[in-house]
Structure 1
Amino acid sequence: MKVHLGWALVSALMLTAGTAQAQFQKPEDAVKYRQSAFSVMGTHFSRIGAMANGRVPFDAKAAQDNAAIVLAMSKLPWAGFTPDTEKVKSRAKPELWMEMTKVQAGADKMVAAVVALDAAARTGNLDSVKKAFGETAATCKACHDAYRE
């Protein structure tokens, strides 16, 4: 029981530390952070897409590895959407800053789709990966269409 309580405390402290790390020195740092997270996520997502779309042979292990990275990265960019970054030049449309509740809902939907993609990749079944990839890609496209120039 004491061990579980200890781990719970460590976990809580790590979450608090993550919040503190979300503070950026300059607004430009927050923009670079979110763009970098999206870039890494997009690179690994594209590797899954190449398999799902038949451009490269399906490799279950590679799909699993890439999906795990996409999953880890999917939770990171959102800390970089701070109010002080609204004026920093980026590809974000002005509407994004006025509709942050919708943006957060889209982010939540994307993360949920990525969780499903990771689970599908772990099955090693190409058809499951294709389906989950398509659903995840749709969540990305919806946000890009609405909020990215």
Structure 2
Amino acid sequence: MKKMLVASLALLMASQAFAADPISQRKDVFKQYKPVVGAMGKMVKGDTPYNKDEFAKLATQLEQLSQQPWQYFPAGSNAGKTDAKPEIWSKPADWQKAIDNHKAATAKLKQVALAGDLAAIKTQFGATQQTCKACHKDFRKD
């Protein structure tokens, strides 16, 4: 019984430490992007059959994810531990513009996906990917 209590307490403390670590939190959100964008990309490229409902569901997930990681970039949260460039903190207006562009693109992709026009989806999916690439270029060490 005592061992279970100690193990439970250790688990609770570890989960609180994770919750207090913005680097881990933002990495966790970004890891969630990969399977969503990957599945969408396969449909857009024709590697898997296009399914309107599934694509719309994925687009909704992506739009929700696009709202999440930015809060986990507080000042001083990098300290050379990640691939985040210092420009995130030294050029906050540019950083915010990149975030806003990404959020707008994912919201538009969701709208286009709900309509189901594959040609329009392909165009907007490409535009959404460009917001990712632009942010990586300016704000991520590769």
TM-score interval for Structure 1 and Structure 2 normalised by the shorter chain: 0.7 to 0.9
1:79 is the counterpart of 2:71: yes
State the partner residue of 1:126.
118
2:46 is paired with a residue whose SS is coil
Aligned-residue CA RMSD in angstroms? Answer: 1.9
1:32 aligns with 2:35: no
Which residue of structure 1 lines up, in the alignment, with residue 38 of structure 2?
Answer: 46
**Structure 1 length-normalised TM:** 0.78
Letter in 1 for 2:54: A
Q: Is 1:93 matched with 2:85?
A: yes
The gaps in structure 2 that reach 5 residues or longer are: 1-15
The code of the aligned residue for 1:100 comes to P
Aligned-pair identity in percent equals 29
- Structure 1 residues not aligned, in runs of 5+: 1-23
The answer to whether residue 138 in structure 2 is matched with residue 146 in structure 1 is yes
Asked if the contact 2:18–2:25 (Cα under 8 Å) also holds between the matched residues in 1, the reply is no
Q: CA deviation at 1:38?
A: 1.5
TM-score, structure 2 length as denominator? 0.81
Deviations 1:81-102 (Å, cap 9, x if unpaired)? 1002031501112222211210
- 1:9 is matched with none
Q: Distance in 1 between matches of 2:24 and 2:72?
A: 8
Deviation at 1:54, TM superposition (A): 1.8
Count residues with an aligned counterpart.
126
* Aligned residues of 1:38 and 1:77 also touching (Cα < 8 A): yes
Q: Is the 8 A contact 1:113 1:135 kept in 2?
A: yes
